Structure 1
């Protein structure tokens, strides 16, 4: 293989799906190192489900209309991501964040990849999806199959 035939990887925009799990925290460290090395922009993405999945303790005895619940969840996710992007800026990494809403996690990821002109995705194999991979298949596996940009798949230990 000649030098010209080798794939050149120099991502300008790296997408990191964040679900605030220990796996995505670990992926953030790796994505940050890549962004520093390549002087890339790091785009943090949190996707909220349309139908919130909460425990009885989180829901308490109060009833929250779905729109109010989603607005509050978006606000909290945006605040957490803003804290992260501020920390990244202190490390010299240009970072931005997005909060999307939808139950089709992979579809939302692919839409953001196209819309934001993402050059690379860093994703961990286990997040907060719990039982969902057993029923619906792995989100990371689907992203690897369907995304048209390079994917760095980080294997993380299964919780519990």
Structure 2
């Protein structure tokens, strides 16, 4: 009989992607308990999505987010993230945050995992139903498939979809 090997899982840095939705705030609340349990540092990430540049297609200039919009979004996001970090530090939890702008939210999350030597990722779903996840895909689903660290996927309550005549169950 093969003896099971004992391994200890003790994350020292936990990444929490934040989009300021109720489900991401709920994920942060859960992660606070994990940080206390493991004496881990929390790293909060907010990615401001930017539309990819498509060659060969002419879009009106107003279609792309302009620099002023991105600068305002970044400033507002940094303010919100600073409030979260301040709250965490006030609870005795080591925390830091970063706001990034990128064409690929999943790619940004994966780069941060590697760059910051993240031991664990905690991410929430949004519980969407209907056509949106089919068309746009799920960031959480992609991250779960591609992340090279342990991932805790927290399912949030389903959001009613006005385009789904049955409603979310």
Q: What's the CA shift for 1:98?
A: 0.5
Matches within 5 A, 1:133-144: 133-144=133-144
- Aligned residue number for residue 20 of structure 2: 20
TM-aligned CA distance change 1:12 to 1:21, over 3 Å: same
Tell me the distance in 2 between the aligned counterparts of 1:87 and 1:17: 17
TM-aligned CA distance change 1:117 to 1:109, over 3 Å: same
Q: What's the CA shift for 1:6?
A: 3.5
Q: What's the CA shift for 1:131?
A: 6.1
Tell me the distance in 2 between the aligned counterparts of 1:34 and 1:104: 28
Matches within 5 A, 1:11-160: 11-51=11-51, 66-126=66-126, 132-160=132-160
Q: Which runs of 5+ in 1 are unaligned?
A: 52-63
Q: What's the CA shift for 1:73?
A: 0.5
C-alpha contact (below 8 Å) 1:19/1:127 kept by paired residues: no
Q: What's the CA shift for 1:89?
A: 0.6
Q: From the CA coordinates, give the structure whose radius of gyration is larger.
A: 2
TM-score normalised by structure 1 residue count:
0.84
TM-aligned CA distance change 1:100 to 1:65, over 3 Å: closer
Q: Which runs of 5+ in 2 are unaligned?
A: 52-63, 161-169
- The structure carrying a bigger helix percent of its residues is 1
**Higher RCO (C-alpha 8 Å, min separation 6):** 1
Tell me the distance in 1 between the aligned counterparts of 2:138 and 2:156: 13
C-alpha contact (below 8 Å) 2:127/2:157 kept by paired residues: no
Deviations 1:60-94 (A, max 9, x none): xxxx9711111110110000010010000111100
TM-aligned CA distance change 1:101 to 1:65, over 3 Å: closer
Q: Tell me if 1:8 matches 2:25.
A: no
How large is the Cα RMSD of the aligned pairs? 2.1
TM-score normalised by structure 2 residue count:
0.80
Q: What's the CA shift for 1:132?
A: 4.8
Q: What is the number of equivalent residue pairs in this alignment?
A: 146
